[in-house]
Amino acid sequence: MTNICTKVTVRRRPIKNGQTSLYLDFYPPVRNPKTGKLSRREYLGLYIYTNPVERFQQEYNKSMIQKAEIIKCRRTESIINEEYGFLDRNKGKESFLEYFKNLMIERGSSQNWATAYMHFHNYTHGECRFCDLTVQYCQGFLDYLLSDACMHNGKRMMGTTANNNLTKLKCILAIAYEDGLLKENIAKKLVRAKAHGNKRQFLTKDELLQLSQAPCKSDVLRRAGLFSCLTGLRLSDCIRLQWENIVKLADGGWGMDIITKKTSTAAILPISEEALQLCGERGTGQVFKNLTNSTVALYLKPWIKASGIEKHITFHCFRHTFATLQLAEGTDIYTVSKLLTHSNLATTQVYADVVDELKRDAAERISLKMPTKAESAQT
C-alpha cells in the first residue's frame, strides 16, 4: 500500500495543567513499522500553553509550533518517498519479528501462521531487523526448515510443509515491501523446495475396495476411514464432526458445514450418499462416536494387514487416497484443492505429480519389443 495520498496535519490536544499536546494526524492512516499496526496519530512530545498570557509563553508556543511543522514536513517527505518511519534515524533498525507477530495477530491468523512465526523466530535466534533481510538470508530459512534442526519424531520436515512455512514468510515480506519498509521485493525472489522425495502413500481403487471388504475390529474406525477416503476429511476433523455439521445443501444433496481444526478454514463440502451411509443412523453429538487417536493406533494396522495391503498406511493416507483418485478420475486440480480446503494450490499439485507418475507407468506398459524368454516363461 502506498501512502502518497496520506495527508499530515498538526493537531492539538488539551491536557492537564493548562497545557496542550501537539501531535501529527495521518489520513488515511499509515502503518507503524515498529508494531505493524495502522495508526492515525504520532505524539511528538511537544507541549504549548493553552492560554498564553505572558510574552515569553507566546514566544515559546510559536517556537514549539514551528518545530511541529518542521516534523510534519519531514513526515510528508518520507511518505512521498515511501520511506515512512516514526523514527527516521532508526530506519531499517526496527524489529521485523515484532512486525511479523503484530501483523499476524492483527489479521487473526490461524495456528499455521503461529507455527511459521515460531520457526522463523528460532531461525533468527529471536532477533531480526528489517535491515537484516536479504534474499540470501530469507532463502536460508527454507534450508533451515529442511535441516535436522526442525526434525520431529526423528523425521525431517516434508518439502510441502517447509514450502507452506516459507509462503507465510513471503506473505509478510510482500506486505512490508508494499508498506515501503523494504526497498527490495524479496518475496518474489524466494524459491520453493522441490516436491521430490516426499511421495505420499495412497490406496489404488482396487486396494480401496480390498480394504472396504476386510474385517476391522473397530467398526467406528472402519466407517471413519472409508469416509475419509470418500471425502478427504482429516482424522482431527472426523473426530470433531458433529451431526449438526451434516446438512442439506441447496442442490438437494448432503454436505458438511465445518471449520477445519488444522487451518481454521470454514467450508461447506458436498458428500456422496455412500459417504453419508458410512456415518450411520442420524443422531446428535459426535458422528463417529468414540473415535479417538488411540482407536486408530490400536486397530488401523491390523485392519490394513487383514486386507492384504502391504503399504505403510496411516489414517492420513486416506486423505491422500481421496485426492489422488479424484485427480486420476479427471477432477480438475482447483476443485480438488477446494475439497481439501487447501489455501495454496501448490499443496494440491503434489497429488497431481503423483498422478502424472502413474500415467507414465501406464504408458510404459505397452511395448512393441519382443518379450525375452524369461518374460515369456512368466506369462
**Residue-wise pLDDT tens digits, 91-121:** 567 889 999 998 888 777 677 888 999 999 9
Would residue 129 count as lying in a domain?
A: yes
Would residue 2 count as lying in a domain?
A: no
Rounded Cα distance between 94 and 100, Å, is 11
Shared domain check, 236 and 138: no
Shared domain check, 334 and 215: yes
- Is 210:321 a contact under the CB 8 Å cutoff? no
What residue numbers bound the domain in which 113 lies?
96-189
pLDDT band (50, 70, 90) for residue 89? very low
Residue 232 has pLDDT above 90, yes or no: yes
Q: What is the pLDDT of residue 357?
A: 65
Shared domain check, 128 and 34: no
Would residue 376 count as lying in a domain?
A: no
Shared domain check, 75 and 158: no
Shared domain check, 101 and 83: no
Calculate mean pLDDT across residues 331-336: 89
Q: What is the pLDDT of residue 201?
A: 85
| Cβ contacts of 368 within 8 Å, gap of 6 or more | none
Answering whether pTM is above 0.75, one says no
Q: What is the pLDDT of residue 365?
A: 56
Residue 84 has pLDDT above 90, yes or no: no
pLDDT band (50, 70, 90) for residue 85? very low
Would residue 372 count as lying in a domain?
A: no
Q: Write down the mean pLDDT value for the chain.
A: 85
Shared domain check, 141 and 111: yes
Would residue 22 count as lying in a domain?
A: yes
Model pLDDT for residues 237-294, shown as the tens digit of each residue: 999 999 999 999 998 999 999 998 877 889 999 999 999 999 999 999 999 999 999 9
Peptide bond before 270: cis, by omega within 30 degrees of 0? Answer: no
Most confident of 123-127, 345-349, 367-371: 123-127
Would residue 342 count as lying in a domain?
A: yes
Residue 376 has pLDDT above 60, yes or no: no
Per the structure, the count of domains in the chain is 3
Residue where one domain finishes, among candidates 89, 123, 153: 89
Calculate mean pLDDT across residues 13-22: 91
Shared domain check, 103 and 85: no
Calculate mean pLDDT across residues 199-220: 92
Candidates 79, 87, 69; CA nearest to 22 is: 69
Here the CATH number for the domain that contains residue 332 is 1.10.443.10
Shared domain check, 283 and 234: yes
Shared domain check, 158 and 120: yes
Would residue 354 count as lying in a domain?
A: yes
Shared domain check, 124 and 76: no
Strand pairing class (254-259; 266-271): antiparallel
Distances (CA, A) of 239 to 45, 131, 184, 251, 295: 56, 46, 45, 27, 11
Q: What is the pLDDT of residue 253?
A: 93
Most confident of 32-41, 121-130, 258-267, 359-368: 121-130
Shared domain check, 261 and 129: no
146 forms beta bridges with none
Model pLDDT for residues 164-208, shown as the tens digit of each residue: 899 999 999 999 888 888 888 999 999 988 754 456 789 999 999
Shared domain check, 101 and 85: no
Residue where one domain finishes, among candidates 89, 115, 130: 89
Calculate mean pLDDT across residues 36-48: 84
Q: What is the 3-state secondary structure (H, E, C) of the chain?
A: CCCCCCEEEEEEEECCCCEEEEEEEEEEEEECCCCCCEEEEEEEEEEEECCCCCHHHHHHHHHHHHHHHHHHHHHHHHHHCCCCCCCHHHCCCCEHHHHHHHHHHHCCCCHHHHHHHHHHHHHCCCCCEHHHCCHHHHHHHHHHHCCHHHCECCECCCHHHHHHHHHHHHHHHHHHHHCCCCCCCHHHHCCCCCCCCCCCCCCCHHHHHHHHHCCCCCHHHHHHHHHHHHHCCCHHHHHHCEHHHEEECCCCCEEEEEECCCCCCEEEEEECHHHHHHCCCCCCCECCCCCCHHHHHHHHHHHHHHHCCCCCCCCHHHHHHHHHHHHHCCCCHHHHHHHCCCCCHHHHHHHHHHHHHHHHHHHHCCCCCCCCHHHHHHC
Calculate mean pLDDT across residues 41-65: 91
Would residue 177 count as lying in a domain?
A: yes
Residue where one domain finishes, among candidates 125, 155, 189: 189
Q: Residue 229 has which C-alpha cell?
A: 477416503
pLDDT band (50, 70, 90) for residue 5? low
Percent pLDDT > 70 in the chain is 84
